Amino acid sequence: MRRLLVAGVLLVSACGAGATQPQARVTVTVTASPSPSPAATFPTRTPPPIPKLTPRPVVAPDGRRCPDHPTPACTGLPPGTKLRTLEANDGPAHRVVKPNTVLDGVHVTGDLFIAADDVTIVNSQIDGAIQAEFDGKDHAYTITDSTVGPTDECQTAPAIGVADYKAERVLIRGHADGFRDSGDNITIKDSYARLCSEGTENYADGIQTFNAGKGLLLDHNTLDMRGVVNYNSPIFFNDRPNGTRDVTITNNLVMGGTYTVQLHNIHGSLVVKNNLIVDKTWEHAPMSGDCLDTIQFENNNIVTIDDDYRVTSIVRPLTCNGK
């Protein structure tokens, strides 16, 4: 038997000597296999760009320098400064009563009381705290290139407070609270604070508001609360409902705390820009805040740092709700 496939028709014929047989016609249907479906595709989500950081050096008048955020290397009493001791004249404290007094190169072995306006403190060491609220008045003063706090204990009182003061390139040590905001016109720049705590009643804060007023600039400071036993926040704004007004918080490097930054009950203008929170140093979240439409919240990031407070990487941007 012979089979031929012609144009989809199978012709079958019998073969034999002189025999003629009719051909059987069988129609064959060929079904083409479907082409494989293309793989499903999804649009690629491009993550938002992580901004580059622009270092801002700290340079002290004596030439000490930090490449970026403040550290003990470029803040506080300049090494080698010859100090004269101010004798205590108000219990264990020294009280200043003359306006426009300049304290340059002095060592105060206890607290420094400022009971006069426009006092200047420079290149000095205060082993206790600075208090400038007397007779119902906040006395204005400036402190630069000086160290505040003891080396061998942790004091509960805030190191520097409480209103109408300017602090620049100050080093704070041995205090549970670094800076206190309880009034108007406060400027804190290029300063470093390493906080501490002892006992159950001693809770640390880098800067805390208490009956605060109007006008605070917190710019380019390092507030370190790591390793503290009892703590609130390096930046702790949670004053009375109608308290703090017109606050600018920029370029700071902060770490530690329940929430590293707490911003509540702030009225008027609030600018929060270019701040860095060290990754995984908080207990609950990096930030807790009132994210109102009036807040200017820009370019704040979670980062990692080395032992010299230099930023080693940007982990992610920080949002106002702390995520």
For residue 194, the SS3 value is strand
* pTM listed for this prediction: 0.84
Yes or no: say if 2 and 14 are a contact pair by the CB < 8 Å rule.
no
> What is the residue whose two structure tokens read 């190169």?
105
Yes or no: say if 208 and 232 are a contact pair by the CB < 8 Å rule.
yes
pLDDT at 267: 87
Q: Which residues of 234-259 are buried (b: 16+ CB within 10 A; e: fewer)?
A: bbbbbbeeebbbbbbbbbbbbbbbbb
| Helix boundaries (H) for the chain | none
Among residues 223, 290, 232, the alpha carbon closest in space to that of 258 is found at 232
pLDDT at 278: 98
Tell me phi and psi for residue 81, to 5 degrees.
-70, 130
pLDDT at 4: 42
Yes or no: say if 265 and 244 are a contact pair by the CB < 8 Å rule.
yes
pLDDT at 5: 42
pLDDT at 35: 53
Domain ranges of the chain: 1-30, 58-317
Alpha-carbon span 68 to 158, nearest angstrom: 26
pLDDT at 28: 45
Spell out, as residue ranges, where the chain has pLDDT lower than 70: 1-51, 200, 323
List all residues 6 or more positions away from 22 whose beta carbon is below 8 Å from its beta carbon: none
